[in-house]
Amino acid sequence: MQDALGALLIAIGRVLMAAVFIHAGLSKIDGYAQTAGFMQSHGVPGGLLPLVILLELGGGIALALGLFTRFMAAALALFSIAAILIFALPPAGRMGVIVMYAEIAMVGGLIHYAVRGGGGLSIDQLRQTKKRRRSSGFGY
């Protein structure tokens, strides 16, 4: 029972973290020109925006599903660190400090998933179970 609850909570955490990136990717599509201009105002070429959207949206969906969890969490963590360095430093006022620490907390959670994987309720786990069954010689 405790294993099932733990797997469920890990999956819920994964989906909640992924929702932040999925929403960010969708909002960048919706406000494409404004986002490209904002990036350029911080010295980041607007031409990178499609890659940013792909990482946030595609990586967020993959993280939510628990697909390539370790890789996607590591990629999103590195991306988030870069975003903090470029867009959140130095923090502007009290709200800027809060936003910066929220971003840092997200990186901490992503590092957890990069190290531990997606848990029992993930596509990664399903693929691993099928792989073990095939290699055990039972031919299920």
pLDDT mean over 84-97: 92
Whole-number Cα distances in Å, 103 to 32, 44, 82, 89, 92 = 22, 19, 11, 11, 14
**Gap between the Cα atoms of 19 and 38, Å rounded:** 22
Give the pLDDT confidence score for residue 1 in this predicted structure.
56
Residues with Cβ < 8 Å from 58, sequence gap 6 or more? Answer: 25
> Are 44 and 87 spatial neighbours (Cβ–Cβ below 8 Å)?
no
More confident of the two residues 55 and 139: 55
Interval 63-90 mean pLDDT: 96
Here the tokens at position 83 are 């975003």
Count CA atoms within 13 Å of residue 74 on its CB side: 8
Total Cβ atoms within 10 A of residue 12: 12
